[in-house]
A and B are shown apart, each in its own frame.
With several copies, the nearest count.
Chain A
Amino acid sequence: MNKIMFFAHLRDHVGEESVTKDASGKTIAELKQLLSEEYGLKLDTVMAAVNEEFASDDEVIQDGDTVAFIPPVSGG
């Protein structure tokens, strides 16, 4: 299983800090597509992180990985 984390407007939209899903074997792009359909999220300009490191769209998710969606940041 995988922990999927949301931040900023994504968190507000989904209404959860994280959800648990089996995403193993899927690419980030495939997971984005799935979540877009399930929650009506717009994820095409959103970065992903796998286990706290930025990940590209073609990275394949392993069982146990934590996936986070990172909207454009605005710290500082």
Chain B
Amino acid sequence: MNFEISKEPIDIQSVIDKVVQREAGAITTFIGTVRELTHGKKTLYLIYEAYEAMAVKKLEQIGKEIKERWDGAEVAITHRTGKLDITDVAVVIAVSTPHRADAYEANRYAIERIKEIVPIWKKEHWEDGEEWIGNQLETVAYPEGKPEAKDLNE
């Protein structure tokens, strides 16, 4: 169970433990936390909602893509759902590889792919309202809000 959606707080160490291997010299983790300010606006809390069965499948797909691209990589990802307060952990990605450059690159790939293809949504709650947030890709133009053709049916 390296790929999970969890209603409970994520134990970071237990995600890391899943990728420990004798062949690995490097483990990277990405921990997504709830930030108080976005574009100067103060977030009170977030709600994450997932299409759980499909989200797990898509996380597994990302793991498979990484193992194909980075030799000897192991991957584990847990994403939280429900109500999260500021500084709470929304997602933990752990990647181990024999050499460190790969561990950084493969981990970065995982978070970008999560933001493209994994059916999870967040609703931001501010003092003056609330809103479901569209895609959060910071680097990729994604105006149609849909994955690239290559992502379909993979």
Contact = CB atoms under 8 A, between A and B. Distances in A.
A contacts B: CB pair < 8 Å? yes
Contacts of B50: 75
B44 to A, nearest CB: 17
Given A7-B119, A68-B54, A74-B120, A47 B147 contact: yes
A54 B135 contact: no
A76 to B, nearest CB: 5
Interface stretch (B6-14, B15-23, B63-71, B108-116): B108-116
Interface in B34-76: 48-51, 53-55, 57
Interface residues of B, number: 36
A70 interface: yes
A71 B145 contact: yes
Contacts of A35: none
B120 A75 contact: yes
A52 B123 contact: no
A19 to B, nearest CB: 15
A46 B134 CA distance: 11
A68 B51 contact: yes
A47 B132 contact: no
Contact of B145 (A47, A52, A53): A47
A56 interface: yes
Q: What are the 7 tightest A-B residue pairs by CB atom distance, in nearest-first order?
A: A75-B120, A72-B145, A8-B121, A52-B54, A72-B134, A72-B135, A74-B133
Interface of B: 32, 48-51, 53-55, 57, 79, 90-91, 111, 114-123, 132-136, 142, 144-147, 151-153
